[in-house]
A and B are shown apart, each in its own frame.
Chain A
Amino acid sequence: EIVMTQSPATLSVSPGERATLSCGASQSVGNNLAWYQLKPGQAPRLLIYGASTRATGIPARFSGSGSGTEFTLTISSLQSEDFAVYYCQQYYNWPPLTFGGGTKVEIK
């Protein structure tokens, strides 16, 4: 099973600032990496797949990069609706599909 590790666990950012979230894989997953946004009481949202392709309707301020074992999600200018928990997910080697432990982006 591929283990996904995210850092930091919590990121405190002011609105308008840039947020950089990291995701690491215990072995190479190529570019088979997705990012999701979760907010309490809401349906999770697919943001990025293929490590860098934005899903339908996702604003351009969200960008993904990386390949192999190291990945980054960048939110270029945080909006109020972006404060949430973000998870990475690998889909290279499965079952099982595996997710990281999450990064909570909170208001500074």
Chain B
Amino acid sequence: QVHLQESGPGLVKPSETLSLTCTVSGGSVNSHSFYWTWIRQSPGKGPEWIGYVSYGGSTNYNPSLRSRIAMSVDTSKSQFSLKLTSVTAADTAVYYCASSPRGTVTLFDYWGRGALVTVSS
């Protein structure tokens, strides 16, 4: 059973960079899945796909966020990370990390419980 856990600051100031890490246990970033995804949910809205990073480091981002996102993977630590620059209040959300079953990148079979990030001064 793969377990995912998000970690990072719960409060980020406007214009600064949001940084989150997802730690994978019960597997590794190159065993269970080839693709590791970030999804967020702002208050009162449906989930929003942010993008993914593969275990080899390739990425694919939501076009609406592409200019501000960077994702990376550290296979030695079984972790993958998200950086979102120049944040505003609109980036306040619960951020989830998720994995995809082998053979797909578009479905999400394991998720973390989510990390609430609030953007405020």
Binding site for B on A (CB under 8 A): 4, 6, 32, 34, 36, 41-46, 49, 55-56, 87, 89, 91, 94-102
Known contacts A43-B4, A87-B46, A95 near B63 by CB under 8 Å? yes
Instruction: Report B-chain residues with C-beta under 8 Å of the C-beta of A89.
Output: 47
Interface of A (DSSP majority class): loop
**Lowest 6 A-B CB distances belong to which pairs?**
A91-B106, A97-B49, A43-B111, A99-B47, A96-B62, A99-B46
Binding site for A on B (CB under 8 A): 4, 45-49, 51, 60-64, 96, 98, 106-114
Closest to B4 in A: A43
A43 in contact with B63 (CB, 8 Å) = no
B109 in contact with A55 (CB, 8 Å) = yes
Q: Please, could you name 25 A-B residue pairs with CB atoms under 8 Å apart, sorted by A?
A: A6-B46, A32-B106, A36-B47, A36-B108, A41-B113, A43-B112, A44-B47, A44-B96, A44-B98, A44-B108, A44-B111, A46-B108, A87-B46, A89-B47, A91-B106, A95-B49, A95-B51, A95-B61, A96-B49, A99-B46, A99-B47, A99-B48, A101-B45, A101-B46, A102-B46
Instruction: Report A-chain residues with C-beta under 8 Å of the C-beta of B61.
Output: 95
Closest to B50 in A: A96
Complex Cα–Cα for A102 and B42 (A): 13
Most-contacted residue by chain B among A34, A94, A96 (CB, 10 A)? A96
